[in-house]
Amino acid sequence: MTKIKLSDGTEMQIYIARGASAKKLPGIILIQEAFGVNTHIRSVADRIALEGYVVYAPEIYHHSAGDNFTCAYTEFQTKAMPHYEAVTRETLDVDLKGTHEALCADPAVDASKIGCIGFCLGGRVTFYANSILPLQCAVSFYGGGIDPEMLDCADKQSGPIFLAWGGKDKHIPVSSRKKISGALSRAKKPFIEIAFADADHGFFCEERASYHADSA
């Protein structure tokens, strides 16, 4: 973990995974699910790094939870919810811009090639990040709450965005997916969306009961 100072005076921990290369590598901001920067998110960061990237995974719960917060997938209501609800556009502005600045300043990173990937809560945050940061691309996995909370960000998307949905995901109805794609289409923003028919919410995470290997 590396800790950075942010514009609001707070400090935030970031998990960093680095690909091996003598050349500068593209950078990825990796945004957590609702359960913190846990072993799954770290393993995803490590796997992406092996493909030739530098990955920064910020602890966006730090404003309310402090450092190193994680909880079990069964503890959303009891442990994660207060911190989930404490994530606002104001806190994200500080955290995302601080992470982006640190990533771009990393001597191993090609600052002209920065993207963002997020899951669940992180999928929504990625949609927002792509509206406030000069990203080259973004990937949102089952981003709950984009509709209605972030629909106004559709016309501000910086890079092309890939939206991955679970066809069996009851947390994100088809009507919401249509609103999101409609808003992007009206704004003439480039995007691709795929709904994996046999997948549920959280299908990418091998530590969750909803993991679906074929879709992931």
Q: Which residues are catalytic?
A: 120, 169, 201
119 in Cβ contact with 206 (< 8 Å): no
Amino acid symbol at 6: L
The pair of structure tokens assigned to 16 is 């960093």
- Count the neighbouring beta carbons within 10 Å of the beta carbon of residue 195: 17
Spatial distance between the Cα atoms of 187 and 150, rounded to a whole number of angstroms: 14
Distance of CA 207 to CAs 38, 60, 112, 204, 216, Å? 10, 21, 34, 9, 12
Measure the N-to-C terminal CA separation of the chain; round to a whole number of Å: 27
- Asked, as a colleague might, if the bond just before 148 is cis with ω within 30 of 0, I would say yes
203 in Cβ contact with 164 (< 8 Å): no
